[in-house]
Structure 1
Amino acid sequence: MNPSPSSLLQGASNFRDIGGYRNVDGRRVRRGQVFRSDHLASLTADDLDRIKAFGVGHSLDFRGAVEVETTPYALPGVQRVAFSIEPTVIARMQALVAQGVVPSTEDTVELMRETYRHFVNRNADTYARFLKHLLDKPTPQVFHCTAGKDRTGFAAALLLSALGVDRATTLHDYLLTNQLYKRDARLEGQGHPHVMKVLWQVQPAFLNAAFDTVDKEHGGMQGYLHDALGLGSQELGELQRLLLEQG
């Protein structure tokens, strides 16, 4: 496991290197190559210097249109690439509240589980483009959404899985968001506290819903990567060559 977590930037609470984990073959994911984060619209001057020092050339943005308009950013020397996935869970929750329905904690958890199932199937093309971009542009990169927890969390799980990292370690990385992310009421909207607590944290049940879907509908992660995302053994081997330490 990586050491006790802390964000590498002041203006992005959930910014971290996904490197350092060992895969099932004992090879370590290279540090300094791929970072995950919450949105990048509040970076300080020191943060920008660190981004430059990291050599980041691309920011891969999973946010939807309204989110991009709400917290736009431009980082010197960094090309933003849109991998838009609209945050439908928030819209659905707002629609329920508008109808006078107050979802229970259990209802909200199940809605999040459904969201992750949709990542697997409805957003497969987007996640395929994400992984292929990492292959095509082998320079340090950062990927993110608004909180860096759901769309970003599943992207990180896919990448670590493609690199041969086991699910327990992948889940550990996923759950670090609960220690790192600082909630921002300006971005959360209005809602009942018990609902918002579920929406703005992560739970093992969320990511496991995606893994269960991968297993039941695609025969496991290798089948999903190959059949749904279109990454053959040659491409997976190249990704591992790029992002795993050699020897």
Structure 2
Amino acid sequence: MPSIAPLSKPALQGVSNFRDLGGHTGLDGRRVRTGLVFRSDHLAGLTPDDHRTLQALQLTHSLDFRGISERAALPSVVPGAAAVSLAIEPTVVVRVQALLARGQVPTEAETVELMCQTYRAFTREAAPTYARFLRHLLEQPTPVVFHCTAGKDRTGFAAALLLGALGVERDAVMADYLLTNQLYRRSPLVEAHGPAHVMDVLWQVQPAFLQAAFDAIDTDVGGLSNYLEGSMGLGPHELERLRERLLET
């Protein structure tokens, strides 16, 4: 398995799962540039020291994959960064809550399958939103951070798409995705209730989740290249510009 990139993680007190996506080996052996694209959790718990740390990164935009009620419950303000909504509603949480309300407690395996279904939906229903995400990186060639609530699922798939578009091998993409299990701390600001075995699945990442998305892409359109140019509508010139911007020469 290819090694993952050296982990660049600024020290932040009120944020978890924050890291630089740079450092991976991409197309033609070119490395993904550092200091341009960061991923994170909800960013609502920033401390004054965190503000100063983020200001040093010169972030200009905060791309938010959270749904409407999530944003209202936990407003996220990044100093100096304009907020951009790329809303994808958290359907898996709603589905689990509906099951529990009916007295139906999903098993661990059933909860894993619910997560896999969510990732398949990312590739299908949310393709236009993820296309907007990649196009933003083209239109605003300045440092950005993108996030959702935990920075692991909607954000994790966005990171996987971006790294894949830059030519990073899937094994390395998966390894980067799984770093969430080391870096994410459940936020006291996020309310979540349910059986322990269900919550353990919902608040971690597993290879099966992202693999479900990869498999859906491969089955539906025959691979990531077809997905980027077909389902997401990104032309070859746009992809080349994205690589020129985010890969070292």
Same fold (TM over 0.5): yes
- Residues 1-247 of structure 1 correspond to what in structure 2 (within 5 A)? 1-3=4-6, 6=9, 8-246=11-249
Q: Distance in 1 between matches of 2:233 and 2:163?
A: 17
CA distance in 2, matches of 1:169, 1:8: 24
In 1, the alpha carbon distance for the partners of 2:73 and 2:223 equals 37
CA distance in structure 1 between the partners assigned to 2:22 and 2:182 by the alignment = 18
Unpaired stretches in structure 2, ≥5 consecutive residues: none
Output the CA distance in 2 between the equivalents of 1:237 and 1:73: 32
What SS class does the counterpart of residue 190 from structure 2 fall into?
helix
Specify the code of the residue in structure 1 equivalent to 2:89: E
- Give the CA deviation at 1:5: 6.8
Distance of aligned partners of 1:242 and 1:9 in 2 relative to their CA distance in 1, 3 Å threshold = same
**Distance change >3 Å, CA 242–CA 68, structure 1 → 2:** same
Deviation track 1:185-218 (CA, whole Å, cap 9, x = no partner) reads 5414210000000000000000000000000101
Q: 1:8, 1:16 within 8 Å by CA — same for their partners in 2?
A: no
Q: Partners in 1 of 2:202 and 2:188 — Cα distance?
A: 12
Distance in 2 (CA, whole Å) between partners of 1:102 and 1:38 is: 27
CA-to-aligned-CA distance 1:105-144 (integer Å, 9 cap, x gap): 0000000000000000000110010100110001000000
Q: Which one-letter code corresponds to 2:171 in the other structure? A: A
Q: Work out whether residues 171 and 204 of structure 1, in 8 Å CA contact, stay in contact via their aligned partners in 2.
A: yes
Which one-letter code corresponds to 1:239 in the other structure? Answer: L
Letter of the 2:200 counterpart: K
The 8 Å contact of residues 6 and 180 in structure 1, kept in 2 or not, is answered as: no
Consecutive unaligned residues of structure 1, counting only runs of 5 or more, are: none
The TM-score with structure 2 as length reference comes to: 0.96
| Large movers: runs of 4+ above 6 Å | none
The secondary structure found in structure 1 opposite 2:161 is helix
Q: Conserved in 1, the CA contact under 8 Å of 2:119 and 2:213?
A: yes
Aligned mates of 2:140, 2:206 — CA distance in 1: 32
What letter corresponds to residue 124 of structure 2 in structure 1?
N
Give the aligned residue type for 2:44.
Answer: A
TM-superposed deviation, 1:3: 3.3
**Could you tell me the TM-score, scaled by structure 1's length?**
0.97
C-alpha deviation, 1:25, in angstroms: 1.8
Query: What SS is found at the alignment partner of 1:11?
Result: coil
SS of structure 1 residue aligned to 2:63: strand
Aligned residues: CA RMSD: 1.2
In structure 1, C-alpha distance between the alignment counterparts of 2:128 and 2:24, rounded to whole Å: 26
Separation in structure 1 between the aligned mates of residue 151 and residue 33 of structure 2, nearest angstrom: 21
Answer yes or no: is the 8 Å Cα contact 2:5–2:25 preserved in 1.
no
